[in-house]
Every structure is written in structure tokens, then in C-alpha cells.
Amino acid sequence: MQITRRPFKSKRMMQTFTYDPPDEPIVILYEDDDLIVISKPSGLLSVPGKDCAHSDCLEMRLKALRPRALLVHRLDMDTSGIMVFAANSAAQRHIGLQFERRHLEKTYEALVWGSPSATGVVDLPLIVDWPNRPLQKVCFQAGKVAETHWRVLEQKKTWARVELMPKTGRSHQLRVHMKEMGYPILGDRFYATSLALSAAPRLCLHARELRLRHPNGGDWVAFKDTPPF
């Protein structure tokens, strides 16, 4: 089923933000001579922010334990789940190209407000909303191609647990696509409003699975991290 844009009429609820990252220890899911796979907690930046108050991040915490760790990709601060770091420069280039050329598979799990159809596809181009950075918005004239597939795993009275499979990797893609369909992700301080915003104490979006080619030999490897919500 191909989905076109459904306007989301509610205005975004603005909130004062204070960076207060969790102090829980880093969880290493897998490690070898080329890869270090981490379970990133919600509320922790992937990389340092511009403000010195935002210097604490997953990259710096991991480097304190594994100085060889090299950044490959990022997750939004509010998103939890799998992040993969390279253990050497050759592996960094290899995995980086897989992300760039979309030669890997990413699966997320989320809780969304409402009752979406059992499966669907969102195909809405995205661009940064410059006056309201870091927000993103749909723009058919200048936006970059963005495609997300979804599948409902569980339906409750007011919310659903969904599996999200992005075919592209735009900033805030899953958050904006779900909001535009009328099913904002619970606890999303950027795009959810009213009951959907207050329904959870955090953004209920988790990078659950990552499947890629191992830098050494090219065999497929898969990693999974169960959502904490």
C-alpha cells in the first residue's frame, strides 16, 4: 500500500530542554578486531554538541574504554538502540560506504499514537526546516527522497507497536514520516503533541536490528537489541 501525505494539523508543543544524559554504563553487544557494536541509551548524544555543556556523548564514553573506536554513523539523541563503531580505519571506510550506498538493513521499533493499517509505505521527501533547526519537514520541491516501510506488531486501544524499515537515512526520517501519517511516536518532544507527547517519558523509538557485511570477508552479520519499552 502506497501512502501519500496526510496533514498533521496540531501545532508542535515547545519545551525547554536541559541536557541531562543518563549515567548508565556503556553496553557492548559485540566486539571483534573490526567492529564494536553498542546499545545506545535514550537521552545521550551520539557525538559532542557545539556547546561545552553537551560534550558528554556515546563516542567520548566509548573512546575512554576503547581508544581505537571510530565513528561510523549516528542516532538521534532521543533514540536508543544499536550503533556500530569501527575498530580500524579500513573497517570505518567499509561500513561507511555501506551506509552511504544503502547496502545494509536497518530495523527500528516504535510506539505510535493511533491505529495505523497493518502495513504501509511512506514516501515523502524531507528537508531541514531552517528557521526551526534541527526540525525537518516535508518539501516536494526541494526535499530529498525518503522512504519508510512499516508493519504493525501490536495494536492497543490508543497506540500501536510498529516495526519501521527505513530505505533511506534522512535526519528525523522516522519521526517526521510517522507524524505526517497522523501516528506520531510516543514521547517525541519535537513532533508529538498533547496525549501522544505525554504518553511516554521518552521517545519510544529504538534501533532494534542492524544487518551488514562484515569488513573482513564480506559475510552478512546481524545484531539485535531488544527495545526497553
Which residues are known to be catalytic? Answer: 76
- Report how far apart, in Å, the C-alpha atoms of 16 and of each of 19, 40, 171, 187, 207 are: 10, 23, 22, 15, 26
Q: What does residue 125 show for φ and ψ, rounded to 5 degrees?
A: -70, 145
CA–CA separation, 109 and 104 (whole Å): 17
| Cell (9 digits) for 68 | 581505537
Pairing of strands 80-86, 205-213: parallel
Q: Is the Cβ–Cβ distance between 212 and 98 less than 8 Å?
A: yes
Q: Is the Cβ–Cβ distance between 153 and 105 less than 8 Å?
A: no
Q: How many CB atoms lie within 10 A of CB 86?
A: 21
CA–CA separation, 112 and 195 (whole Å): 11
Half-sphere exposure of 174 (CA within 13 A, CB side): 28
CA–CA separation, 49 and 18 (whole Å): 13
Q: Which amino acid is at 33?
A: D
